[in-house]
């Protein structure tokens, strides 16, 4: 059965698949999802890729209009935006819309927050991770959300401290060599600390690093050169 026919069906009109039994709306989503997974594994984009032809994107949107309560369609739409278009904010919006459905898989909230974070929307990502943490009873999901929130706070700290260092550089004509110089210039109240309570490290060139990057698994900046995460941390950071 083709994707156009699948996405045009209403939940009541879903036919049977002779080989696999009832054809659920999940089959609709799987068409786009499988293609996204192929691209992730190195397959070359086909001529009808969304970036060159909006057919697949339009079909998924059509399926959502016909089946607005099927979270799997939003899941597939988000992956098309993410893998084929690299449009992280559109992916975040698709995952968020699906996550709002009462029967949605809770991981959609996680995907929405990750895409917003990757798209640079720190406040949106923070809101979504907070909602994920507050609304889930799953310990793994809550721990994942809490770790992302810590990393987001650290990245926001790094942005703010970077601006203060720029201000010091403009006034003094050189990079600060220590935090002491910064608070002696009334630019900081003391040595800044990360969300876990460890002091940030100020390098001679004005770069700022976290003292224990292994404790902030989802941090993308402020990591000392040469730091190698453990295998466990790498696996966590992919989830």
Structure confidence at residue 211 as a pLDDT band (50, 70, 90)? very high
Class of the CATH-defined domain 3-136: mainly alpha
Beta 16-17 vs 21-22: how paired, if at all?
antiparallel
Asked whether residue 60 carries a pLDDT value surpassing 70, the answer given is: yes
- Are 155 and 128 spatial neighbours (Cβ–Cβ below 8 Å)? no
Cα–Cα distances (Å) from 188 to 82, 93, 183, 191, in that order, read: 40, 38, 4, 7
- Global pTM exceeds 0.95: no
What is the per-residue pLDDT for 25? 43
Asked whether residue 153 carries a pLDDT value surpassing 60, the answer given is: yes
C-alpha closest to that of 218 among 229, 226, 206: 229
Structure confidence at residue 117 as a pLDDT band (50, 70, 90)? confident
Q: What is the pLDDT of residues 71-99, one digit of tens each?
A: 989 998 988 888 788 898 999 999 999 99
What is the per-residue pLDDT for 50? 41
Asked whether residue 2 carries a pLDDT value surpassing 60, the answer given is: no
- Are 108 and 74 spatial neighbours (Cβ–Cβ below 8 Å)? yes
Report the distance separating Cα 89 and Cα 81, nearest Å. 9
Could you tell me the residue ranges of all domains in the chain?
A: 3-136, 149-237
């Amino acid at each position: 059965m083709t994707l156009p026919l699948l996405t045009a069906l209403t939940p009541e009109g879903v036919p049977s698949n002779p080989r696999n039994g009832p054809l659920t709306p999940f089959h609709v989503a799987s068409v786009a999802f499988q293609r996204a997974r192929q691209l992730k594994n190195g397959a070359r984009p086909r001529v009808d890729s969304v970036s060159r032809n909006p057919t697949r994107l339009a079909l998924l949107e059509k399926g959502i209009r016909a089946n607005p309560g099927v979270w799997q369609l939003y899941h597939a739409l988000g992956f098309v935006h993410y893998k084929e278009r690299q449009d992280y904010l559109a992916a975040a919006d698709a995952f968020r819309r699906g996550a709002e459905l009462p029967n949605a898989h809770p991981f959609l909230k996680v995907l929405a927050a990750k895409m917003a974070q990757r798209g640079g929307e720190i406040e949106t990502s923070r809101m979504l991770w907070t909602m994920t943490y507050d609304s889930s009873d799953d310990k793994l999901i809550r721990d994942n959300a809490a770790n992302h929130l810590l990393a987001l706070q650290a990245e926001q700290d790094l942005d703010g401290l970077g601006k203060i260092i720029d201000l010091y550089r403009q006034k003094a004509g050189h990079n600060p060599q220590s935090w002491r110089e910064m608070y002696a210039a009334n630019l900081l109240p003391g040595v800044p600390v990360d969300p876990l309570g460890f002091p940030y490290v100020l390098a001679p060139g004005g770069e700022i690093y976290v003292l224990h990057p292994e404790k902030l698994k989802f941090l993308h900046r402020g990591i000392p050169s040469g730091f190698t995460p453990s295998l466990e941390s790498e696996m966590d950071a992919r989830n």
